[in-house]
Amino acid sequence: MDHAEIQSVLRAMGERVPPASQLVLVGGSALALLGSPRLTIDIDFIGDDIHPNPLHQTILQIARELKIYAEPVPIDRFVPLPKGSEKRSIHIGQFGNLEIFVADPYSIALSKLDRGADTDYDDLVFLAQNHYIDAHEFERMVLEALPLANKYDFNPDILEHLQELKNRLKS
């Protein structure tokens, strides 16, 4: 899905959710809404993947009916969220009854660095080159998160991933 297709899906969801509903996106769909040209196959949003709340259950049902993949992502269980993350979400807009935000770009970046796939590095470069994250501030956040790594399923190669990101940003 590209930016336009994601917006279309969000409008369809916004027609069927209760008024004043909010959804915070992460992953490729979030980055597409920020302007990334990379296509995505799903809509990931912050939520409990084991016990989704009623709104998220509705979102998942609509996604099934639209034959798209949507998934609640408990990002705070995977990576230590950087201080102030709740204040850095980006308001995207209103889609019917559904107000859409993109999660804190630094939190998204930390989860992508943790995973370290090629598409994740592309996303990280996009975030840095488009000034959604500052590379030096992001490095500080990564180093600050390291002592908390044992509480999360944090990749032991995260410093190697950080170096790879630095190399790609120099190119």
Q: What is the pLDDT of residues 126-140, one digit of tens each?
A: 999 999 999 999 999
**What is the pLDDT, as a whole number, of residue 156?**
83
DSSP result, the chain:
--HHHHHHHHHHHHTTSPTTEEEEEEHHHHHHHTT-----SEEEEES-SSS--HHHHHHHHHHHHHT-EEEEE-HHHHS-PPTTGGG--EEEEEETTEEEEE--HHHHHHHHHHH--HHHHHHHHHHHHTTSS-HHHHHHHHHHHGGGGGGTT--TTHHHHHHHHHHHHH-
Task: Tell whether pTM > 0.85.
Answer: yes
